[in-house]
Amino acid sequence: MSGGSTSGGSTESVPSFRELGLSAASLKALAHVKYETPSLIQAAFIPQALSGRDCIGQARTGTGKTASFCLPILEKIDSDHSAVQALVLTPTRELSAQVAAECEKLAYTRPVKLACCVGGKLINRQIEEIRRGAQIVIGTPGRVIDLQTRGVLVLNDLKIIVLDEADRMLDIGFRPDIEKILRRCPTERQTLLLSATLPGPVERLAQRYMQNPLRVDVSQNQVAVETVDQYYITVDRDRKLTTLARLLYEERPRQAIVFCRTKRGADSLHNRLSRRLPHVAAIHGDLAQNVRDRVMKQFRDGTVRLLIATDVVGRGIDVTGVSHIINYDVPEDCDDYVHRIGRTGRLSGEAGFAFTFITPEEGDQLTNIEIRINKLLPQYQFTDFEPVRSRPARPPASAVIPPSPPSSVVTSFAVEEDDWAIL
């Protein structure tokens, strides 16, 4: 299988849904379901799938992969034609139901008919749905074959077939069923394959039944993000400072940037922390350039260990050796999240940690970030606080980070036990 591959754009700028080539009807549906920004897999996969080529997308549940193929399906369906034009195969009944629900939501502006055909449910109802003119069928391989064998499900007009979670379907033993279905599909069709992993059996299936497929690989774009250990911390608004103090004590960063949403917030946090810590500075757009330059120099040479920054200035910080990023305020824009955490862990072999404070009202923002970075963030667990002084959560950052950049810089950051004892 040759095909091509695409890295699907850079994490630096994610296109809008409009730029992906979707029609006005799709954009209206997306506004209705309140999806504002495409996830990485959506940004990379949708334009390729819309081009009509066979595509392989590596993505797992929770990344927005369902919309990546549902939107191109919806663009292809002729709603005036009462024949099955799209078939989605999934490994489980639950996943079929989820895909059907997502597809239904995204079909909000279109008069298309769906049928969800899974085992364990009354087949007569499914037969009725197909006979009433279903244009999109979503189901599990066994039931789909059953409906084909009964002569109910006819795929002569099929334009697009999707193998969702192909690796799981093959693990479950659906290979013979999938092959049987694929052989009964018109050869002039588009095949989309989504899979969290691409082991040999999935590759072989693709080789046999797909035409010169394009691989949509967003993993390259996640490198910067993936070399950073990321966590969120649930915190009440009025407990943020205490939580920060506790986190610093527990993590003992070699060097950290704490991001605040506003200049005023950054100043206020700086005032409160600098009373207890000698090596703290703030940087934001209201400071004179010479002050900013001085602060950056101190951060670079290690005199400043904790830098409190706003996004605009934070983006320009290019310092090697930052071990920790702390999002004291969750970024409003998901791109800012990627930019912020890109300040650490960027050099090969260098460890980086990122912590995002989330207040109880900010759950949606966390979800948006997770969609954006294609990854679910774990919650950070504080150790019991008392024993912490003698038992750090991890080895101090200086112990796990190899001596690059210049060792003189690293040694000047030798972690003192009490450096971060500000409570």
Q: Quick one: 196 or 421, whose CB is closer to ligand AMP? A: 196
Angle between helix 24-32 and 65-76 (nearest 10): 140
Q: Quick one: 67 or 202, whose CB is closer to ligand AMP? A: 67
Smallest distance, Å, CB 367 to ligand AMP? 7
What count of other Cβ atoms lies within 10 Å of the Cβ of residue 281? 22
Smallest distance, Å, CB 191 to ligand AMP? 19
Q: Quick one: 103 or 401, whose CB is closer to ligand AMP? A: 103
| DSSP sequence for 274-297 | HTT-TTEEEE-TTS-HHHHHHHHH
Buried b (16+ CB within 10 A) or exposed e, 313-325: bbeebeeebbbbb
Q: Quick one: 310 or 368, whose CB is closer to ligand AMP? A: 368
The helix (H) or strand (E) run that includes residue 329 is none
Cα gap 54→75, rounded to integer Å: 16
| HSE, side-chain direction, 13 A CA sphere, residue 364 | 6
Please answer whether residues 30 and 4 qualify as being in contact, where contact means their C-beta atoms are separated by less than 8 angstroms.
no
Smallest distance, Å, CB 42 to ligand AMP? 6
Q: Quick one: 64 or 253, whose CB is closer to ligand AMP? A: 64
Q: Quick one: 127 or 198, whose CB is closer to ligand AMP? A: 198
- Residue 214: which of 60, 56, 68, 65 has the closest Cα? 56
- Contact residues for ligand AMP, defined by CB under 6 A: 35, 37-39, 42, 61-67, 102, 371
Cα gap 2→413, rounded to integer Å: 50
Whether residue 405 is preceded by a cis peptide bond, meaning omega within 30 degrees of 0, is yes
Place of tokens 């992906």: 20
Smallest distance, Å, CB 325 to ligand AMP? 23
Amino acid in the structure at residue 248: L
Smallest distance, Å, CB 353 to ligand AMP? 26
Cα-Cα end-to-end distance for the chain? 60
Smallest distance, Å, CB 321 to ligand AMP? 34
Q: Quick one: 233 or 371, whose CB is closer to ligand AMP? A: 371
What count of other Cβ atoms lies within 10 Å of the Cβ of residue 136? 26
Smallest distance, Å, CB 203 to ligand AMP? 22
